Structure formats: structure tokens, C-alpha cells
Structure 1
Amino acid sequence: MVEYTRRTLMASSTAAALGVGALGTAGATAGDEHDTPHAPYVDGDITRFSTTARGAEVTGPFVFETGELLYSLQAPSEDNPEPFDRGGVGVFDDFQFTFNGKTDEFEDLEPPRTTEKQGKVLSAAGEYRLLVREGEPINGGTERFGHPQTPDGEDVADVVDESYEGVGGVTDMNFFVSTNEDGTEGYLFTNNETRPGAITRTPLSRASGRWEADPENAMEIENTDAFREIGGTKINCYGDLSPWETPLSAEEEYGHPRVNGLHTVREIVEEGSGVGLRGASEFWNRPNVADLEDALAEIFGDDAWTPMELWANTGTEKLAYHLGADPVDQDDGEDTTRPIGDGAFPNRYRYGKIVEITEPTADEPVPVKHHVFGRAAWECPEVLPDERTVYLASDGGAKGIYKFVADEPIPSYDDPMDVRGTLYAMEATPVGKGPVGATDLEVEWLALGTASNAEVESWIADYDDVTQVDYLETHAETDWEDDLEAALAEADEKVAVDGNRDYITDEEIVEWADQYERCGPDGVDEELRRVPFLETRAAAKEIGASVEFNKAEGIDSHDEAEPGDPVYFGISSLGGSMTDEYGDLRFDEVDSGVVYRAELEGDYDVSRLEPAVVGPNASASESLQDASLINVDNVMVLEDGRVLLCEDKGSFGRSYPNDALWVYDPAARGAARADGEREC
């Protein structure tokens, strides 16, 4: 017998060590070729539990106290048969995970080979049943599931034009807050990745052995005055359930980058121009920003570029309508460039936040934006059991991983706005120069600054009066009311070159970084303390943090994790800035992603990430891809330490087009196997 531990597997000449359940189905062999050695690799076993309907991602997993599993059917193909042709949230009937040492009665699910099977949700055990679906009437018929409204009750999707395809069907996070002792009654909180955001609270109860929803008494909580008072929300993605039983919704604000790629603000200042370097955030208050790319092409010709994540800031007008702005003039149903000038225009620094739903069972829940957690394209906060430490990951290319540590346990503050602590950015250094599956990351946390929610709120409020009119009047010499087209062209050129003077300037960010280097995060001038909390990504890049991670989409640990227990970090696609020749991370590409595992230390810190599950590349054989995790998204640790791994694989080379949900069992790590029986 040969014991195949993680290190001996990595040192072996085989390309992968996959789990028993997965390979029992797909039959990958050691002869498969890979662009990257030791990819794929599983330090344990993975078993395919479910495949979702064609076109849909697997998102928002949640396991009730009863052991029953629920997840979102996110954005399925409209060509699927009913009811799998519209997004929604469903539960698996007649199956329960067991956490008492007994074996769950399911085997690895066979991939869906027929068109019929590919059009529905399949599972290894139980049957998936939708509880709520996109657009269904809720709240006594006054609202629709997943649809934000204007203050006068008009569906935002119906205002102006029909550009809101899929609104209400891009369901993501699901967390259940129980209202009885046995956890069989309560409210399900579901995110929708819309602009403006949507968070639905649906009453659920379990009677006669199955869960039922009560859409009549469900509500879109973002349509309440309390949400509008904090600016509403934007692109609500995954989240967390705090140890004190409140849902945390992550705003995936892709449009936050002010600088493209791995460039820094200092480069712009030294160059004397931001042409080719500025990201989407600098054009936030530009009227009809959807036309910006064409405008830049006309102004700069061959030097034109697409600002990073520009797409995410299109439709900002709809967010303004949600807050109460009057619709801008229209021409044949299309937005014009006439600016919004009233006070309902959204403040860019209010988005890209973690939103805690306090008083979740009240008639109207109370939202709190944790400004001290920073501003990013948040996908997945993870609040640790010490109630002070929060890990955060920003989705997309060239993004960071962050940590917030509160001075005191977060629920101990009488007012959530008094929550105070330090925000950190990760600096990751590969240990050695081996392939992804053999390379750990050594982690150092760089302190960005210390503040309270109330302090950051006061800094944000300084920009509340900035509107689209300001974009023109601040940056153009021509009076926009005399010649709107000319004024807009002047403003676009001015912002591209010199930056948007309506918000934090390039010079302020560079000065913050210079003072940081000389005096540390607590030694910067008072007026510059706002920089890392409002311009988190730019600040982190200036001081050398690893803003290179590509699609960090999952973080989770056991709900009662203690020092010594693992916390998992999912990277959906290890490519882009993690694989180029710049920065600290220069891996071989693993375009289907990797799941890292870290051990929680005595203070709930982590200082090293090690690969736990590494996916294949697109060039791998079809059979190997069929047996592998592809593009991990949400990650959820179960009560017994097993981990649900959700997929958002998009287009890949499998024999079937569906995303899957896998159950990863780390208990099989280093299991002894006969040499001739090793699965590769």
C-alpha cells in the first residue's frame, strides 16, 4: 500500500488525482494531457450531486436545519421546458443531508446526455421543485418577484425601454432566517443581480414533509423607504448569514475600477494623462454612459479604449429612477444624453458594499451598508464566529481579496453605524515556482486604514449632490444647455485626460499613498483617511497589494469554525492577471479555476492558502472535464465539513452543457490506495 498524501501526489508524474465518485462516472485516465501539470487535482473526493437546467448557473446554495438543500436557478435558457425556462429558487424534495455520521444515500450523478435531461434540473437524490419564479406576483399583487420599482410603484423594467432582459431571473444568494425553534418557519432572503438591486423576502414553512413558499406575503425589500434612504442597492450577488442570524447581501459593483487592469493611479499622474488607462468609475455621472465607448473612439481615434467594466455602469439612470429621479427625455424609446440634475442621482461611493439586513423578521427590515468593509465588486463576505473578522472577495479580473477586523464584536455595537475596525488587503506570494496544484500562497495583510461606518458615511455624503449636470458643468467650457453635444465631447475628453474632478482626485490618491509609505495607515492627513474606504481597489494597488486575483467568487467556513479549522477561497478562473508577466502572481493558466484552503489561526487570521481542488484546462479531454469541477462560484461548508461547490462554467469542453453542484469531501485527503488502483 502506498499512501498518497497531498505532497506525494503533487510530486508524482500523474496529471491529476481525482475523487472516487467523480471518476467512477467519467473514467478519466492518466493518459490525458494537460497544459498545466497537476491540473486537475482534488485533495479529497468530489461527487456530482446535481446538474442545473441548460444555461443556468448554480448559485445561492442553502441547507436547512432539516438537511434539505435549496439553490437558485439563475438565468436559465428560455428554450428549456417549463418551469425551467425562467429563473427562480427551488428545493430538493425527498432528500436530506445527514450530519450524524451516517452516509447520505446518493451516488455520483450521471451527466445529462439527452436534450430532455439537459433542459431540467437533475439530482443524484430527491427531486428539484421551484418555490418561486421570476416575475411572479408577490405582496398581494403589488410587486413582482425580483423586480425593483420607482417610489410611485412603477416597475423599473417598464420605465423608459425594455433593456431589462432577465430582470428578476438572475437569482443568486439565498439565506433563511427562522422564526421558530425547530427551523421550519421563517423568511428566505434572495438576491437578484439587477441594476437597481433586488432583494426578495419570501415566507417559507415546512409542513407535510416539504417546504412551501407564501408569495402572497413576500416582499421586495429594496422598494421600501429604508432602502432608498441608503441609496438603494446594485447587482446583489452572493452573501452570508451572520453568526447573529442576519443576511448579508453583497453588491457586485463591477463598475468600481477607476484604473484599467494592473495600472496604478500614480502612472496616470506621472504620465500627465489617463487616456487608455481610466476605468469605468471615473465616468460614473456621464449622461447615458452607454454611448461613452463610441464617444472616446471619436475623440481619440487609435488611442481610444474601453474603460474597465464600463458595461456595469450603463443604465445608471434606472437606478436614479428607483430613487425618485424624473425620467430623462427620450427619442424613439432610447435614452438621450440629456442629464439628470436633481438630487436623486445616485452617489457612486454608495455602491459596492456589504448590506446587512438587520431586523430581518420585522414588518420592514432595516438595511445597513457596512462602509468600513470597503468598496468593490463583492461576491462573498464570510463573517467568522468571533463576530469581528470578515473575509471578502471582489469578483472580476484584476481584483483583490480583503479582510476587515472590527475593534469589538459587530453585534455588540448599539448602533451598526458605530461599527469600527481596520480594513486590510491581501498581498499573496507564491511559495516556490511550481504549477498551480503544487503551489501554496503565502499571505500578508496590508492595513489600509481604520474607521467607523459613521465616519465613512460622512465622507460619502460629501458627494451626494453630484449629478450628471455636474459632469458637464465641471468639465466643459461650453454651456450644455446651449450645445449639449459639444459640452459632452469636451467633458469626455477632460475626464479622460485629467480625471473626474467631481470625486476623489488622482492627486489625492497618490498623496495618500505617499503619506502611507512615510507614516503608515494611521499617519495620513485627516482629509485623506477616506481614500482606502471609497477608492479601495485603487488604494490597495498603490501600496502593493495583490490586486491580481481573477474571479474570486467564493469564501466560506463552518458556521462554528474554530482556530485550526479550514476556510475556503474559490477562484472561478485562474487566468488573466494571475497568469501574465506582471505582478507577484505568474501562474500557468487553469482557466477552470481552483479552490484554495487556509487554516484559521488563533486570531482567525490566515497566512497561507493551499490548493484543495484544481480544475482542468479547456484543452483537457472531454472525459476528464466531465469528471472535474469547472469554474467554481459559490462555496458553502456543511455542518460535517463537506463543501458544496457551485459552478458557473459558461462555455467549456464537456460532453454536456450544464453547470453542476459538487459535494467535496476533504475527509478523504491523503487516503491510502493501492498503487494500481489510484484514480488519475
Structure 2
Amino acid sequence: MNKKKVIIPLLSAALLFPTAVNVFAQPHKPIEGVKSVEFIGMPVPATNEEKSTMYSDAKVKVTLKDGTQKTVELDYTSLAKPGDVINGKIVGAAVDINGNLITNKKGEPLVSPSPDANSLLSVNGKSGKLYMINHFESMPNNEFGTVPRALYLNTVQQDKKTGELKITDIEAIDFSKYGGVWTPCAGILSPWNTHLGSEEYEPNARAHEANPEKSSVTQFARNYYQDATAIGNPYLYGYTTEVSVHPNGEAKAVKHHSMGRLSFENVTVAPDNRTVYYGDDGGYVMSFMYIADKAKDLSAGTLYAAKFEQTSAENGGAGNLKWINLGHANDQEIKELAETLTFSDIFETTNDAEYAAANGFSHIKTSAGEEYLKIKIGMEKAAAFLESRRYGAMLGATSEFNKMETVTFNKADNKVYMAMSTIAKGMEENPNDPVDDIRLPKINAGGIYEMSLAERQTDREGNRIDSDYVPTKMEAIIVGEDIPQDEEGNRAHLDKIANPDNIVYSENLRTLFIAEDTGNHVNNVGWAYNVDTKELSRIVSAPDGGEVTGIQAIDNLNGYSYLMVGSQNPGNIGYIQLPPVNKK
């Protein structure tokens, strides 16, 4: 049974809290004159009901410059769960190239238990409708193997008096021009009001080519095209996706091939609307940056990969970043390469270390393992944008980050935050690896890193980088703490983060929201971290076994503020309503 509390609409706040000034009773106007915002955390889930429920018992205390204070209770509101039927359509259902439900042999639809990214947005138009795009990251085990994932467009109604949200319709978003969508993970609402999504864990093109008939990419293609003879193409997957929504509710999806191919967790965008930073999930992964040719247009640009030069091994470590130019491209030219090339068209390979050393092969280690590779003549651009991590490692970029998750931008302080779910494996000292740029003590509970930005930077070759927002330093600012397993089963300190995954920053609240994906806390929780006071507050808890996902901070939507948040396995899509303060 879902835990239920009374939702206190902000509209009636002045009546319930007589010390508050009238501004608290005006939901269509942000609260002005705010001195500070403090999240008051909730305890660790204790009862069986709390452990099995998505809920919040946290509070927010707003202090105005005249000393007036108000404390608002938070509450989690569910919008939908996988398998729900909305307007005759099934939430989280897999669909084929024609938009038809994919069913098992019993005729039952395959439904994802794993909702992830949420982008709630308003579009111009007389209807005044709101829309929300969400991802469904994985599908349950089934007799067909790998099944296409889904992005859904939700039509959302907002109660103008209370701010309450309701989904009234859903529609699967069409990716048929791109062969479907592969493992959509986190995402953000772009500064130009589109949804920027992801395709995580790009399929290994080398492994696919060695046995295409048994490849998960071929399983995917056969399920998507409903064709038992189809052979998949791994180079169709592993890109940033972008979805724009027309005021009439029509969604248009593209994949940005010029941003490179890797295990996208998500991206975030600098205030110039051109410079983009990546989260590359997995083991032995890489930090990337993309600089678009034009603002608000990610269809062409230059891709960079980072060389990490460690300066400290303390408290999660720190280092300087140097950037390697991988090349320039546009979406169309890389899409054409993706549709025609194979791995062996791009690379020569060998397993003989002595032969490799004598014949100009690069010795690298990435998420694909340890390899000896050599680029074939004229294939540099294909390597850069279809095999970005492999190519980056061949040029000397650091491919030792581990479980690099989401990134988010803090405009006021000119910082980028990056979640590293687990500081381990490639990030530990590994003298037998081809290179060993990162040498840190293991912190299984992971941490959050802060990247400092600078103007007038050059790449490794001394060429000017055409951006005023280039990361130059990276250091951990929050780390978890591993503990011996307690009697409940926790293996990380309960009052510290464990395996951070989704993160998002609120400019108005000066708060970094952190969602966990961990087996080291019995209940995954969401945190609020005040970047000024460094206070960490537990604000939401997922059911036992569930991952906290899909966080989006909305500072002002028609006078209301929200933290979109849900869970995976079990799945839930919902939100927490926040006081609409203005601290800018």
C-alpha cells in the first residue's frame, strides 16, 4: 500500500503558517527576497511500509531577508507506473518499427519496469499544454532476447490552483529513421526547450562482427523490424538523442551522430548553448566534450576527449584536464558512415604484442577490454565518431574512469558536476594497464566531482578551443563511505551518498539533487546537497531494490516548482512539489 500524506498546496500556505508573509500564498509568483533555502532531511526508512514505498518525509525551510521563515512539508506524488493504461495505451510498453506492441508468445505486451529520464516542458501554443518525455531503460527477460526500448511523450495537465500534475495521454516516440533506440538512460531538458537523451552501453561492433547471428544487436533488429532474417548494425546505436515537441503535440526525434558514439549516460550544456559535457557510463570509460558550430544546434561540431593529469589521491582525488581534438563532423556524414561501415573497415587488429609494437599498433584498454589496434588509411573520421572511446585512447586520452554517470551545470559558479558511481577498477592503481593516469584508493560508494571551467584554452596541439567553458580541473567534492555490512544489509554509511547516478542542479535553490543506484544501501534514496553550506539531506526513498531515477529540477513552471523523480524495479514516475523561490 502506498504511503499517503496530506498534500499542502502552496496556495493555502499563509493560512497554515501565520508567520509567513503573503508572498508564500502566491503560487504564480516566485518567492522574492529569499535569504536561504534549507532542506530538512528525513530519517532512514525504518518500517516495512516505508521500506516498500516511494515516499518523502523531508521538509524545506525558506528564510527571507527580513527574517520571516516558513517550513513546507514535502510529499511524493505518483503520476504513473509501468503497465498502467492511460487513454488506452500501456505505460512502458515496447513497440516495433510500426508502433505496434511487441508481445510474448502468450500475447502479453512486454513492459519495461525501468522508467528513467523525465523532461517536463511547456511549449508555445494556444492549448497551453505541458508535455513530458521519459525513457524506459530496460526490458524484462523474455524469449526473444534483446528488445527495443522506448521513449514516451506524455501529455500533462497542471492544476492552476494547486500545481498538481496529471498525465492524460501517452504516445511512443518514433525512432524508425534510426533503427529504434538502444538503452535510453538519463536525459535533460536543453536550454532551448528540447529533450536531450542518451543511448547507454553502445554495442561492441568488434564482438558483433565476430558472430553477428548471435549478437544482441541482431536480436534487437529482429524484434524491432519483426523480421527473423534481419542482421543488426551496432553502429546505429550509442548516440545522444534529441526530441523536440511541436505545440500540436507532435514529437520529432533525431540522433546526433556528430557528437560521437559511446555509452551516453547523459549530457549537459554550458550557457553558450554550444559546449556540451558527457557522462560515459561503464568501466574504463572517458570524459568527452563537444563544441557545436552553432548555438542551439548539435548537428555539427568538434569532439574532444580528456587527458587526466592527477594532482591528488585524497578524498576521491583531483587532477587537471587536457583536451585532445578527435575531429569535426556533421550528423549526416557520420550517419552515412554508420550505415555502411563495419569494425574491420576501420581497424586492423592483432593479439600479438610483439608484432603490434613493431608495426605501429596502439595498445589500449577501454570498456571493450585490452586491444591492439591500428587505423586503416583514411578511416580517422570514422574511428573518431563511430569508435570515440577507442580512438580517444589511441590518441592518449584517459580511458580509466569507472561508472561515470550524469553531469549537470551550475551557471552561477561556472561549474560542472559529475557523478562517479564507483571509484574503483580503472580508477585504482593498475601498473599492468597500458597507461595508468588515475591512481586512487577504492571508494566503492562512489562520489561527486566538480569541474572548474576557464576561457582561452588550447588543446594538446596548442590550437585554440572555441569555447569559454572548457573544463581545466576536476576534484571530488562529495564521497561515500564504505562500511562492513550491517545487520540490515547496508554496506555504505547511511548518512552519506552511495553510488550516485542521476544528478541535477537547481539554480534557484543552490542545490544539487543526487539520486542513488546502489546495492550498498538497502533503500536507495535521493539527496539534496546545498553547494554553499555543504549540507547533505535525505529527501526521498525508493522501495527496497528500487533505483532512484529520472530527476529533473524545475525552478518555475507557471508559478510552481518541482523535482521530477521516480524509481526503477519497481518502476514509478512522479514528482515532489517544491516552494517556488527566486534566489537569482
- Does 1:504 find its partner at 2:339? no
Greater RCO (Cα-Cα under 8 Å, separation 6 or more): 1
Residues 316-338 of structure 1, C-alpha deviations (whole Å, 9 max, x = no match): 4244332x242x3xxxxxxxxxx
| Deviation at residue 155 of structure 1 after TM alignment | 2.1
Name the structure 1 match of 2:41.
108
Q: Distance in 1 between matches of 2:266 and 2:526?
A: 17
For the residue of structure 1 that corresponds to 2:391, the secondary structure is: helix
The one-letter amino acid of 1:245's match is N
- Shift in CA distance, 132/122, structure 1 to aligned 2, threshold 3 Å: closer
- Does 1:627 find its partner at 2:507? no
- Does 1:134 find its partner at 2:86? no
Q: Distance in 2 between matches of 1:346 and 1:98?
A: 53
| Deviation at residue 614 of structure 1 after TM alignment | 1.0
- Does 1:658 find its partner at 2:523? yes
Asked if the contact 2:93–2:109 (Cα under 8 Å) also holds between the matched residues in 1, the reply is: no
Name the structure 2 match of 1:548.
400
- Shift in CA distance, 150/409, structure 1 to aligned 2, threshold 3 Å: same
Q: Which has the larger radius of gyration?
A: 1
Q: Tell me how many residue pairs correspond in the alignment.
A: 450
- Does 1:606 find its partner at 2:559? no
Name the structure 1 match of 2:222.
320
For the residue of structure 1 that corresponds to 2:320, the secondary structure is: strand
- Shift in CA distance, 200/153, structure 1 to aligned 2, threshold 3 Å: closer
Give the structure with the higher percent strand.
2
Asked if the contact 2:259–2:303 (Cα under 8 Å) also holds between the matched residues in 1, the reply is: yes
For the residue of structure 2 that corresponds to 1:238, the secondary structure is: coil
Name the structure 1 match of 2:193.
245
| Deviation at residue 189 of structure 1 after TM alignment | 0.5
Name the structure 1 match of 2:166.
213
- Does 1:173 find its partner at 2:117? yes
**1:83-232 paired onto structure 2 within 5 Å:** 101=34, 103-104=36-37, 106-123=39-56, 124=58, 125-138=73-86, 140-141=87-88, 143-151=89-97, 153-158=99-104, 167-179=111-123, 185-194=129-138, 195-207=147-159, 208-215=161-168, 217-221=169-173, 224=174, 227-232=175-180
Unaligned runs of 5+ in 1: 1-51, 54-64, 67-93, 259-279, 290-312, 329-339, 467-499, 515-522, 671-680
| Deviation at residue 666 of structure 1 after TM alignment | 1.5
Q: Distance in 2 between matches of 1:203 and 1:590?
A: 42
- Shift in CA distance, 161/398, structure 1 to aligned 2, threshold 3 Å: farther
Name the structure 2 match of 1:532.
384
Name the structure 2 match of 1:233.
181
Residues 237-256 of structure 1, C-alpha deviations (whole Å, 9 max, x = no match): 00121111100111113433
Name the structure 1 match of 2:445.
592
- Shift in CA distance, 100/397, structure 1 to aligned 2, threshold 3 Å: farther
- Does 1:577 find its partner at 2:421? no
The one-letter amino acid of 2:271's match is P
Aligned-residue identity in percent:
26
Q: Which moved more, 1:454-463 or 1:154-163?
A: 154-163
Q: Distance in 2 between matches of 1:440 and 1:105?
A: 29
Match of 1:568 among 417, 422, 430: 417
Match of 2:292 among 380, 396, 406: 406
| Deviation at residue 526 of structure 1 after TM alignment | 4.2
Q: Distance in 2 between matches of 1:455 and 1:180?
A: 33
- Does 1:454 find its partner at 2:345? no
**1:60-99 paired onto structure 2 within 5 Å:** none
Asked if the contact 1:256–1:375 (Cα under 8 Å) also holds between the matched residues in 2, the reply is: no
**1:276-425 paired onto structure 2 within 5 Å:** 280-283=207-210, 286-289=212-215, 313=216, 316-322=218-224, 324-326=225-227, 328=228, 340-341=229-230, 345-411=231-297, 419-425=299-305
Asked if the contact 2:201–2:282 (Cα under 8 Å) also holds between the matched residues in 1, the reply is: no
Name the structure 1 match of 2:545.
none
| Deviation at residue 349 of structure 1 after TM alignment | 0.7
Q: Over the residues paired in the alignment, what is the CA RMSD in angstroms?
A: 3.5
The one-letter amino acid of 2:152's match is T
Asked if the contact 1:250–1:355 (Cα under 8 Å) also holds between the matched residues in 2, the reply is: yes
The one-letter amino acid of 2:219's match is E
| Deviation at residue 556 of structure 1 after TM alignment | 0.3
Asked if the contact 2:482–2:492 (Cα under 8 Å) also holds between the matched residues in 1, the reply is: no
Per the normalisation by structure 1, the TM-score is 0.60
Q: Distance in 2 between matches of 1:593 and 1:605?
A: 24
Asked if the contact 1:97–1:104 (Cα under 8 Å) also holds between the matched residues in 2, the reply is: no
For the residue of structure 2 that corresponds to 1:175, the secondary structure is: strand
- Shift in CA distance, 205/435, structure 1 to aligned 2, threshold 3 Å: same
Asked if the contact 1:592–1:618 (Cα under 8 Å) also holds between the matched residues in 2, the reply is: no
Residues 42-63 of structure 1, C-alpha deviations (whole Å, 9 max, x = no match): xxxxxxxxxx99xxxxxxxxxx
